[in-house]
Structure 1
């Protein structure tokens, strides 16, 4: 069970969650570039990318981070109030077209904000590919309400 399906006061430090996998496609990259305007050649030019240390196009790191949000945050999580930010975000290895990524998250800390109403959950938010290589090392902080708390 994803701990983000719980309320702030029900979550325990140390809880872990591993998501399902999702394959990154060429279409994902093209749509991301069109949406953001980020047409960097390493993502969009196969000939150029073949001449780099990667040998092929790679997915934009922020796209992979956004995919992780889709894998890790339930669409109907009852207590999620807002994305509170991130203090660390590192792209530790390239993500290639055809890689299947999954999220491994762990509750690292909790900080009460308004006693009995809400708090911030700090998560280890790390993305891996089908071979177990870590692609992203980050934290995610989420403002969450307590059961019965008013937002």
Structure 2
């Protein structure tokens, strides 16, 4: 009897199935340092304990997306080890800050299944929740992933496609306890722009560009203990290229957004997200944002911006997203709709 696991395939899932994922992960200041080394992130809230204390927290948490990657990475061996591609996200709520020293674990529930017409794969929807060492939820999100079938002849389950909210409302957002931007130091944060300076429909070219290196994206993916084969094993693709983890592109785009959105300090929720096209090492990535919505919050000095963050390959930004056929243009890598907390 084999003691190794080849992971789950599409026919192994059932709607309503709950999976408690293995290997809890304690996050440390080392995670913060390596995250900063891998991405050009400079948000003051996550760089300085003193800045975070002045904003009402006990100290600086790790970046919201770093916590997301840890929780996500725990799910990979059970959900997407045999993935063709991770397709999208919805209803992601960051429920509590994650601090160095916290231990995270993940649990997922299968909420949807649909076999693809080619009979070789299917789409699996899961709602995953990350918990800290006290059993308190810190993050919850839905994602859907295309997973290979082990046996093309296996009978497909009846399709179940979950009905997901198109977007979170500002009332759905969990504001960190004690958060207070009323004495916010704009000089230390790096930009003077506050909530009232942004207008719905405004677009921002974040100017900076970064070329992704092969070693960097694999180091980042290993940091989150993400074991999806397509990120490491070049023999799994006909073109012999390793697919870059979509979360790597999300973190890179978020870091690039600092130039123009330096005060969008906290990612509070993700409404929707699509990895529009695959990304490979050697590609140069830029980003632009569009302001979709503005909302007030009950926290002192804190407003919320709903933002579209788009990662693209190439140089000059023209804000193009889709072609005449409604499909994403080839140079679009990421289309992410999220809420950020900013000073008012």
The TM-score with structure 1 as length reference comes to 0.87
Q: Which residue of 2 aligns with 1:16?
A: 18
What does 1:1-151 align with in structure 2 at a 5 Å threshold?
5-19=7-21, 20-74=23-77, 79-149=82-152
Alignment deviations for residues 44-83 of structure 1 (CA, whole Å, 9 cap, x no partner): 11111122222101111111111122211129x6632111
Q: Which residue of 1 aligns with 2:296?
A: none
Shift of 1:34: 2.3
User: Counterparts of 2:65 and 2:120 in 1: how far apart (Å)?
Assistant: 32
Greater mean alpha carbon deviation, residues 78-87 or residues 127-136: 78-87
User: Counterparts of 2:123 and 2:105 in 1: how far apart (Å)?
Assistant: 23
What SS does the corresponding residue of 2:116 show, helix, strand or coil? strand
RMSD (CA atoms):
2.0
Count of equivalent residues: 146
Structure 2's unaligned 5+ residue stretches are 1-5, 153-236, 238-344
Alignment deviations for residues 108-131 of structure 1 (CA, whole Å, 9 cap, x no partner): 111222252211100011111011
What SS does the corresponding residue of 1:63 show, helix, strand or coil? helix
Contact 1:30 1:44 in 2 (8 A): no
Task: Return closer, same or farther for 1:21/1:78 CA change in 2, 3 Å cut-off.
Answer: closer
User: Counterparts of 2:9 and 2:49 in 1: how far apart (Å)?
Assistant: 45
Alignment deviations for residues 72-100 of structure 1 (CA, whole Å, 9 cap, x no partner): 1129x663211111122211111011100
**Rg comparison, structure with higher value:** 2
Structure 1's unaligned 5+ residue stretches are none
User: Counterparts of 1:90 and 1:78 in 2: how far apart (Å)?
Assistant: 24
Moved over 4 A (4+): none
What SS does the corresponding residue of 2:58 show, helix, strand or coil? coil
User: Counterparts of 2:16 and 2:145 in 1: how far apart (Å)?
Assistant: 16
Higher relative contact order (CA 8 A, sep 6+): 1
